[in-house]
Amino acid sequence: MESKFLLGTYTRKSSQGVYSAVLDEDAGQIKELTLVLKEVSPTYLTTAKSGVLYTVGADENGGGISAYEKTPQGYQFLNAVTKDGSAPCYVAVDEARQLVYSANYHQGTLRTYQIQADGTLQLATEVHHTHPTGPNPNQNVQHVHYTDLTPDSRLVACDLGTDEVYTYDVAADGQLTPVAIYQTAAGAGPRHLVFHPTLAVAYLINELNSTVSVLKYFPDGHFEQQQTLGTLPEKFTGENSGGAIRIAKDGRTLYASNRGHNSIAIYDVEPDGLTLTLKEIISTHGDFPRDFALSPSGEFLICAHQKSDQLSLFKVQANGSLHFLNNDTWAPEAVCVYFEK
């Protein structure tokens, strides 16, 4: 069995844009790394069911989101919606409303875009967070790091700068109405979250204090914390920041990466989804594991290392543990692993 995936990257050194590769599950190997389009630091990307690729990027007008149509000849540029300043750090698609969402870390904003009939984008609205920031030096301003859909099709946004998770109602035209705000511990720095596949529970990785919080999600859009656990060994005293967070499709195992300790923390998830138990913390066999993803089969995990320019491949065991296979795939400045829809 083979699965194709895409890699988002920085283009500060040798990378040129978005790459594709193939996971050969029978051989336990990654192969056919190929540059598929040139873009300025496409650090996050996603695809719509139409096949259109939406990626973070930049041009002479500033940072924004670019749209590319997938054709037999490769990805063809459709348009880019950019604005003065830095590029966003996250992008997501809303198929039901035909919208795209972006989070901009440096500008403290989230934007919505309407998908046109030809797959191009048109800016719908921009929201700038203005709440006070946290006590950590990295919280000098608002930092929206993530924005994506809840299971009931609201929009949730993590602001690392303000220690808050915002929930919004979304209109058909992309306009946003705030409905709830969850406040993390001071200085936690909420980065990304992932929902349980079947339960109204979310798991939030906090970048600045290296923790994972279990959040119960309620019908009115608010979150309540149930538990918070660390992602690091108790005796570790070095510098670290939380990275990516993923959950197995059966909902029984949660994974979170550590950038600095260069590891993945693995948690068992209780049947109610509300309680985690730390199973183990394993090396990612690379430097700065900014992102990782589980294969569509759920039987493999690919971890991208931003600083050591390589991918690590793991086999997922029956109990959710990870067995290291290899780390010999060169992937320049990779920071996003995305299996195509």
Percent of the chain with pLDDT over 70: 100
pLDDT confidence of residue 340: 82
- pLDDT band of residue 60 (cuts 50, 70, 90) is confident
Enumerate residues 6+ apart whose C-beta is below 8 A from 98: 114, 115
pLDDT confidence of residue 52: 98
What does pTM read for this prediction?
A: 0.97
Work out the average pLDDT over 115-124. 98
Tens digits of residue pLDDT in 220-269: 999 999 999 999 999 999 999 999 999 999 999 999 999 999 999 999 99
- Sequence-separated contacts (24+) of 190-193 with Cβ below 8 Å: 190/145, 190/158, 190/159, 190/160, 190/163, 190/164, 190/165, 191/145, 191/146, 191/158, 191/160, 191/242, 191/243, 192/90, 192/145, 192/146, 192/158, 192/244, 192/245, 193/146, 193/156, 193/158, 193/165, 193/245
pLDDT confidence of residue 204: 99
pLDDT confidence of residue 165: 98
Instruction: Compute the distance between CA of residue 337 and CA of residue 300 in angstroms, rounded to an integer.
Output: 13
- pLDDT band of residue 277 (cuts 50, 70, 90) is very high
Count helices and strands in the chain by DSSP H and E runs: 0, 28
Enumerate residues 6+ apart whose C-beta is below 8 A from 272: 199
- CB distance 332 to 7 below 8 Å: no
pLDDT confidence of residue 262: 98
Instruction: Compute the distance between CA of residue 158 and CA of residue 288 in angstroms, rounded to an integer.
Output: 21
DSSP state of 137: G
pLDDT confidence of residue 61: 87
- 43-176: what CATH class? mainly beta
Instruction: Compute the distance between CA of residue 166 and CA of residue 28 in angstroms, rounded to an integer.
Output: 40
Mean pLDDT of the chain: 97
Q: Where are the beta strands (DSSP E) in 99-240?
A: 99-104, 109-115, 121-128, 144-149, 155-159, 164-170, 176-183, 190-195, 201-206, 211-217, 223-230
Work out the average pLDDT over 149-174. 98
Task: State both tokens at 54.
Answer: 């939406």
Q: Is 139 helix (H, G, I), strand (E, B) or coil?
A: helix
Tokens 């844009």: give the residue.
Answer: 17
Tens digits of residue pLDDT in 36-57: 999 999 999 999 999 999 999 9
